[in-house]
Amino acid sequence: MRHLAASVVVLALLAAGCTYALADETTRWACGPFRYEINPEGATDAQIDAVHRAVERYVAVTGRDAQFVGLTDQRRSVDPRPLDAPVLIEWFWPDDVTFSRMGFGEAFAVDGRYVGGSVYLRPSESPTPAWLVERLTMHELGHVGGLLDVDDEQEIMNPALTVDEWGDGDTVGLLLTHEPCA
């Protein structure tokens, strides 16, 4: 039934002309829980709470259950990890990411299936407000979910982060990149 409801939502939003962009037209997340862990180094408690809220908003759209694996001291860019490890959300900035953005999200795919990913949030001298961490985490989770940046300022996937809700295009994109769960 959820599959039918998701299909109806996608068709209605597509008819309305929403904006979205997929990283890959054929790669999908399989049905199952969204597993994630957080490396809290450099984060405040309010920022960590904001990450949890962002994940809850992500799974609400994708139809998944959130499974918080726990806090970790591992860093994706330093510690070797299997691709299918939980999505790691961290405040550590990898040395090989040279652009000057506030965040970076990447999905890992094998044989047409997304199997994991990472979210990097740029540390700052003064703590970033929790509302901005939530918005930024949602945007970066969109990348983990298979979405690309868009120009439409009504979408969370616009890098300007002008909205704090998933837009219609974001919703369509996430529904298209996540296989429906029964």
Give the span between the Cα atoms of 54 and 42, in whole angstroms: 18
From 126, 137, 159, select the one nearest 38 (Cα to Cα).
137
pTM of the entire predicted model? 0.86
| Structural domain spans, the chain | 2-177
pLDDT, tens only, 54-77: 999 999 999 999 999 999 998 876
The alpha carbon of 47 is separated from its chain's Cα centroid by a whole number of angstroms, namely 16
Ramachandran angles phi, psi of 132, nearest 5°: -75, -35
Beta bridge partners of 109: 114
Is the pLDDT confidence value at 15 over 50? no
CATH code for residues 2-177: 3.40.390.10
